[in-house]
Amino acid sequence: MTLLPAGWTDDAAVLATHRLDRSGFDPGGRPRAVAFAESVDDVAEVLRAANADGIPVVVRGAGTGLSGGAVATEGSVVLDLSRMDRILELSAADELAVVEAGVVTARLDRAAGMHGLRYAPDPASAAISTIGGNIATNAGGLRCAKYGVTRDSVLGLDIILADGRRISTGRRTVKGVAGYDLTGLFVGSEGTLGVIVGATLRLRPDPVRTATLSAFFADFAAAAAAAAAITAARLQPAVAELLDTACLDAIDAADGSALRSRGAAFLLVQTDGWGADAEMEAVRGVVGPHATVLDVTTDPAEAETLLATRRSALPALERRGRVLIEDVAVPRSRLAEAVAAIEEIAERSGTRIATMAHAGDGNLHPILVLDRGHEIDEHVWATAGEVFTTALRLGGTLTGEHGVGLLKRRWLADELGPDVVALQHDLKAVLDPRSILNPGKKL
């Protein structure tokens, strides 16, 4: 491969930092180079050269992905977009932003805040992940119970195709149906269909007020029942997050807090907007009968502390051993059943499984906590496979927000069926006929 942009390197230390993502999965591939793109032209140049020579390209934002999507494969070029980090436009009048792909998610949210707006999708990794990575994984976040996942905030995309052509999809308007929805096709495509270099994103009003409830329960089943009661009461909080006993223990050990002394499971609910207090009163009414401890605050600083506690769960579990982070979703009415089935799988397989859930949208993260140094062997995959099968049996999905990446490919046909899998391969072949874009991932 002859053409790489100015910022490319094959320095061993840089290759090492760009080889893996945060899934902890290491299939042993060694990239040949890392190319740091600083412009759209740099991206096009890399793709044209790679396509001509049939060299795999692994696009990388911040490498915080949890499914192996950004893991470098043997002989690949890692295309790092983190230097393309300009916010090109922020239109308060049209409530939208135009950004480069490498912008860090929380930075856009802060910039929108200067105009009384916000970028709603807030993965717990928002402080470190990039918009391009969020779009490529269709990331969810704590606020997506009310505001939807990343897809619901993407109006249009700028993309470099495998052969170096630049296309723009979508539009600046809130509505629009001209042509097929190519924007939707690229959202969640995990770097396998094209490289997202820019995005036009919808912003939302920053809520005038929030009310935040924290409640503890005798067990996880009671907490799940409380979450179900919120949905049944036709309430729609912005945030509804659940943590089980193992998560609370891990946070206490990491932070020196005493959450576990207050109960065996934790539910965090936030309402927002003009009706935040009224909606919170209704939430309190339906959660109260299930809870042993319940507090409500309207103080933004206290609310942020509670949200930070929720976000700290994964790093706290990572300190307890080697983790395999799972990500299934079920219809919300089946959440309690899913939790009970996961507890049963943990007991039967002798595996420590800590579970946190975005209860507002039925997305569960059962985290398999292994001893440090433990291989993710077939026994571990068999246990994870049981979790996936359970989600599918309950009418759910293998992955709510982390993507298929490398880790879930073998179960994909169980969810999609052979015809849909074949059609997806056909689509990939149209856009990337030489299969240079993240080959061996997603499908």
Strand 33-36, strand 77-80: pairing: parallel
| Residue 369, token pair as written in the block | 């906590």
137 versus 169: smaller Cβ distance to ligand FAD = 137
196 versus 283: smaller Cβ distance to ligand FAD = 196
In angstroms, rounded to a whole number, what is the distance separating the alpha carbons of residues 241 and 426? 38
Q: How far is the CB of 314 from ligand FAD (least distance, A)?
A: 5
Q: How far is the CB of 64 from ligand FAD (least distance, A)?
A: 3
Binding site for ligand FAD (CB under 6 A): 21-22, 58-66, 69-70, 81, 101, 123-125, 129-130, 132-134, 136-137, 139-141, 190-191, 195-196, 314-315, 401-402, 438
21 versus 244: smaller Cβ distance to ligand FAD = 21
How does DSSP assign 284-303, residue by residue? HHHHGGG-SEEEEE--HHHH
Q: How far is the CB of 356 from ligand FAD (least distance, A)?
A: 10
Residue nearest to ligand FAD (CB): 133
Give every CB contact of residue 236 below 8 A, 6+ residues apart in sequence: 145, 146, 279
Strand 57-60, strand 77-80: pairing: parallel
Q: How far is CA 281 from the centre of its chain?
A: 30
In angstroms, rounded to a whole number, what is the distance separating the alpha carbons of residues 191 and 21? 14
Hunting for tokens 């299939």 — which residue is that? 27
In angstroms, rounded to a whole number, what is the distance separating the alpha carbons of residues 25 and 118? 34
23 versus 263: smaller Cβ distance to ligand FAD = 23
Q: How far is the CB of 312 from ligand FAD (least distance, A)?
A: 9
165 versus 379: smaller Cβ distance to ligand FAD = 165
Q: How far is the CB of 438 from ligand FAD (least distance, A)?
A: 5
Helices and strands counted in the chain (H then E)? 15, 19
Q: How far is the CB of 28 from ligand FAD (least distance, A)?
A: 18
Q: How far is the CB of 209 from ligand FAD (least distance, A)?
A: 24
* Sheet with 166-170: strands ordered across: 87-91, 96-100, 195-202, 154-160, 166-170
66 versus 329: smaller Cβ distance to ligand FAD = 66
Q: How far is the CB of 35 from ligand FAD (least distance, A)?
A: 13
Contact criterion met (CB below 8 Å) for 202 and 81: no
Q: How far is the CB of 156 from ligand FAD (least distance, A)?
A: 14
| Residue 92, token pair as written in the block | 């308060």
Give every CB contact of residue 421 below 8 A, 6+ residues apart in sequence: 412, 413, 443
58 versus 376: smaller Cβ distance to ligand FAD = 58
Q: How far is the CB of 132 from ligand FAD (least distance, A)?
A: 3
295 versus 318: smaller Cβ distance to ligand FAD = 318
Give every CB contact of residue 418 below 8 A, 6+ residues apart in sequence: none
112 versus 313: smaller Cβ distance to ligand FAD = 313
| Residue 336, token pair as written in the block | 């309690």
List beta partners, residue 376: none
In angstroms, rounded to a whole number, what is the distance separating the alpha carbons of residues 310 and 251? 9
Q: At what angle do helices 378-393 and 409-416 cross, to 10 degrees?
A: 20
162 versus 196: smaller Cβ distance to ligand FAD = 196
